[in-house]
Amino acid sequence: MGKPTGFMEYKRKVPSSKDPSERIDSWEEFVEPLNEEALQQQGARCMDCGIPFCHVGGDIDGEEVGCPIHNLIPEWNDLVFRRQWREAYERLSKTNNFPEFTGRVCPAPCEGSCVLGISEPPVTIKSIECAIIDRAFSEGWVAPAPPKIRTGKKVAIVGSGPAGLACADQLNHAGHEVTVFERDDRIGGLLMYGIPNMKLDKELVKRRVDLMAAEGVKFLAGTEVGRDVSGEELLANFDAAVLCGGATKPRDLSIEGRGLKGIHFAMEYLRGSTKSYLDSRFEDGNFISAAGKDVIVIGGGDTGTDCVASATRQKCRSLIQFEILPQPPDARTPENPWPFWPRILRTDYGQEEVGAVFGKDPREFAIMTTRFEGNEAGQVKALHTVHVKWVAVDGRLQPEAIPGTERIYNADLVLLSMGFLGPEDLLLDQIGVERDRRSNARAEFGDYATSIPRVFAAGDMRRGQSLIVWAIREGRGAAREVDRFLMGTTALP
């Protein structure tokens, strides 16, 4: 512990962001990193707790707390306080293959469980993580390190999101010959085509993929397993396969008018936007535009927020975001104590930007859409809604319409962002993998073996739509089990 009195001397400080009304003219990242002195002080706030809840990543009363990949947080906080940046980078690399992604877009469950958070704002863990890896890249410490010995074993990984990439990285360093199959034209999964560029610069994804390629991982983009390569071929040509295809089947809103023009799933909108940006800086026009439109985003999660921020950048005429759940409280309630993830009202970058442009938070809480109305051309023109209260039916909370709260909202673009129902069917069906009751690939956490011999599953495809840090944890865990299966023993964590 660098400075025993640090947590009493220094206040929590997080990186500032460019002014929302300016940054909406750009698709570039907008967070301005802390300087070295500020980072040192933030590292000094860490108390080096006897039980560092920040890094436990364990289950308490059925709820996960702390960092799922067990980042050695107190250790690198101390090293940053001492300005031993290279050592901090080495410590960070022991647990996290891709800190440049989590350091930018992880919601930071570690901070939700930080012991300092009981009485003060928690340690600025995520920003310190980001600063360590950004410094490591700029100093040239992150260089290709191919394995010295190859085992001669071949592993196929299907899907190049954070789970597939983490799994590939671990197995490659263990000496196996790894091929990553990706159906999309660019590698990265939702890191590339889900999260927009202003939250995670795609050059950073490419930089990591290039590094892994230089270390020997083979990437086959534009190759869908189940269509371009059959499941049978895959199993004939590789010693083991890991299915990391994500959980991208979107939840639909099957109400009157759903077939009208102008109603899209969030991922159609976000993927098209990022692809067009990367291909031609939007010159090709191959994207759904919100320009000049009244936009309604249905769904209040991360994906909905990314739609809000994208539509604001495209200069929509108005923007409203619906959330069916009630507005969360401003502070923890007694039912939601430390060290659990604080279920409180957060204003994310997208809502901040709408506030700056339109003078008002776009969110409407506890609201349900009952039907879409169209014009004679079959284009959506309005949403009929009603406010709801949540009532217990057979022990489960359900939304119930409140009579007299019906309202009509004009809209000519509607983006559906109500979560995901599980993995797509083609890959799992063709390989014949058993599913669990939520339709995910059935494989035990920690074991990752599916019902088909030599086939493993990890990430969202196994656990359902989750977080990048969980995908990394599962990718690493599946790599360990594949290595054990191939070699009879493993040194992977």
Site for ligand SF4 in 60-79 (CB under 6 A): 73-74, 77
DSSP string for 320-366: EEE-SSPPPPSS--TTS-TTSPP------HHHHHHHHHHSS--EE-S
Given 66, 194, 262, 300, the residue binding ligand FAD (CB under 6 A): 194
Task: List CB contacts of 467: < 8 A, sequence separation 6 or more.
Answer: 68, 106, 107
Given 54, 290, 297, 418, the residue binding ligand SF4 (CB under 6 A): 54
Q: Is 477 in the site for ligand FAD (CB under 6 A)?
A: no
Q: Are 389 and 402 in contact (CB under 8 A)?
A: yes
d(CA 166, CA 474): 8
Whole-Å CA distances, 60 to 63, 113, 189, 447: 5, 11, 31, 21
Given 56, 114, 156, 468, the residue binding ligand SF4 (CB under 6 A): 114
* Binding site partner of 115, from ligand SF4, ligand FAD, none, Cβ cut-off 5-8 A by kind: ligand SF4
Amino acid identity of residue 30, one-letter, is: F
Q: How far is the CB of 167 from ligand SF4 (least distance, A)?
A: 27
Site for ligand FAD in 83-112 (CB under 6 A): 105-106
Q: How far is the CB of 309 from ligand SF4 (least distance, A)?
A: 29
Secondary structure in 3-state letters for 40-99: HHHHHCCCCCCCCHHHCCEEECCEEECCCCCCCHHHHHHHHHCCCHHHHHHHHHCCCCCH
30-36, long-range: CB within 8 Å, 24+ apart, which pairs? Answer: 30/198, 30/349, 31/104, 33/127, 33/130, 33/131, 33/134, 34/124, 34/127, 34/131, 36/83
Q: Is 324 buried (19+), middle (13-18) or exposed (0-12) by CB count in 10 A?
A: middle
**What is the number of other CB atoms lying within 10 angstroms of the CB of residue 262?**
19
Q: Is 47 in the site for ligand SF4 (CB under 6 A)?
A: yes
Given 29, 48, 201, 279, the residue binding ligand SF4 (CB under 6 A): 48
Give how far the C-alpha of residue 473 lies from the chain's centroid of Cα atoms, to the nearest Å.
13
* Binding site partner of 74, from ligand SF4, ligand FAD, none, Cβ cut-off 5-8 A by kind: ligand SF4
Given 14, 31, 38, 49, the residue binding ligand SF4 (CB under 6 A): 49
Q: Is 123 in the site for ligand SF4 (CB under 6 A)?
A: yes
* Binding site partner of 159, from ligand SF4, ligand FAD, none, Cβ cut-off 5-8 A by kind: ligand FAD
Given 100, 184, 352, 483, the residue binding ligand FAD (CB under 6 A): 184
Q: Is 133 in the site for ligand SF4 (CB under 6 A)?
A: no
Q: Is 44 in the site for ligand SF4 (CB under 6 A)?
A: no
Ramachandran region, residue 297 (left: φ > 0; alpha: ψ -120 to 50; beta: rest)? beta
Q: Is 85 or 277 the residue whose CB approaches ligand FAD more closely?
A: 277
* Binding site partner of 114, from ligand SF4, ligand FAD, none, Cβ cut-off 5-8 A by kind: ligand SF4
Q: How far is the CB of 16 from ligand SF4 (least distance, A)?
A: 22
Given 46, 241, 427, 449, the residue binding ligand FAD (CB under 6 A): 427
Q: Is 246 in the site for ligand FAD (CB under 6 A)?
A: yes
Q: How far is the CB of 346 from ligand SF4 (least distance, A)?
A: 20
Task: List CB contacts of 61: < 8 A, sequence separation 6 or more.
Answer: none
Q: Of 91-99, 108-116, 218-226, 245-253, which part binds ligand SF4 (CB under 6 A)?
A: 108-116
Q: Is 201 in the site for ligand FAD (CB under 6 A)?
A: no
Q: Are 215 and 145 in contact (CB under 8 A)?
A: yes
Tokens of 137: 């890249």
Q: Is 270 in the site for ligand FAD (CB under 6 A)?
A: yes
d(CA 78, CA 80): 5
d(CA 185, CA 441): 24
Q: Is 138 buried (19+), middle (13-18) or exposed (0-12) by CB count in 10 A?
A: exposed
Amino acid identity of residue 4, one-letter, is: P
Given 6, 43, 52, 226, the residue binding ligand SF4 (CB under 6 A): 52
Q: Is 120 in the site for ligand SF4 (CB under 6 A)?
A: no
Given 39, 67, 88, 125, the residue binding ligand SF4 (CB under 6 A): 125
Given 111, 177, 294, 302, the residue binding ligand FAD (CB under 6 A): 302
Q: Is 158 in the site for ligand FAD (CB under 6 A)?
A: yes
Q: Is 115 in the site for ligand SF4 (CB under 6 A)?
A: yes
State phi, psi for 164 to the nearest 5 degrees.
-65, -40
**Which residue reads 């159609």 in tokens?**
268
Residues that bind ligand FAD (CB under 6 A): 105-106, 158-164, 181-184, 189-190, 194-195, 224-226, 244-246, 248, 270, 302-303, 306, 426-427, 459-461, 465-469, 471
Residues that bind ligand SF4 (CB under 6 A): 46-49, 52-54, 73-74, 77, 114-116, 123, 125
